[in-house]
């Protein structure tokens, strides 16, 4: 797929549009979606052979800042409206995760006094993809937050 994308000239890349899952994707959006699928499914296979396997760091670096779209599409909110602060390392990011009728993930500057979960960015990517089960969870820092509640929000797809 990379070779095909690279073979397109600037005009072709500008015109490329694909409607999938209710989204109008340009070439960057399509590449991002395929990267996520590839990275997570590669982890699915790797972890079957090595329980300590992680999602490729270069993929995590590209996926972490685009998780908001995935959260909005795949989260299964239920119950009362809630908000959490999610902080990640490698790379370091801060987000507010809000649920109600829908779910949103918004980049923030840091501590908002909310219940907080801190984890490696790789683990947060897997959480959103429904792949952060107890057997494959690195050390997590939680303050007034329940990781199992977040796991229920992201059951996978």
Cβ atoms of residues 142 and 120 within 8 Å: no
Range scoring the smallest mean pLDDT among 6-10, 101-105, 140-144: 6-10
pLDDT digits (tens, 9 = 90+) for 33-45: 889 999 999 999 9
In Å, how far are 30, 34, 104 from 91, measured between CA atoms? 23, 21, 20
pTM of the model: 0.89
Domain extent, residue 100, equals 2-153
Cβ atoms of residues 87 and 117 within 8 Å: yes
pLDDT digits (tens, 9 = 90+) for 57-68: 999 999 999 999
Cα separation of 106 and 104, whole Å?
Answer: 6
Cα separation of 120 and 34, whole Å?
Answer: 22
Please identify which residue in the block is written with the tokens 């070779």.
Answer: 3
Total domains in the fold of the chain: 1
- The tokens describing 33, both together, are 């979606």
pLDDT > 70? residue 70? yes
pLDDT digits (tens, 9 = 90+) for 84-110: 999 999 999 999 999 999 999 999 987
């Amino acid at each position: 797929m990379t070779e095909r994308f690279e073979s397109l000239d600037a005009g072709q890349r500008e015109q490329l549009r694909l409607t999938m899952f209710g989204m109008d994707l340009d070439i960057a959006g399509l590449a991002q979606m395929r990267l996520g699928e590839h990275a997570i499914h590669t982890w699915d296979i790797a972890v079957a052979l090595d329980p300590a396997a992680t999602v490729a760091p270069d993929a995590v670096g590209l996926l972490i800042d685009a998780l908001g779209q995935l959260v909005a599409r795949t989260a299964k909110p239920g119950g009362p409206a809630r908000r959490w602060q999610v902080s990640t390392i490698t790379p370091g990011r801060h987000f507010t995760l809000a649920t109600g009728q829908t779910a949103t993930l918004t980049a923030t500057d840091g501590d908002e006094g909310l219940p907080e979960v801190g984890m490696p960015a790789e683990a947060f990517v897997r959480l959103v993809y429904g792949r952060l089960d107890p057997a494959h969870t690195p050390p997590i820092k939680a303050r007034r937050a329940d990781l199992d509640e977040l796991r229920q929000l992201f059951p996978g797809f």
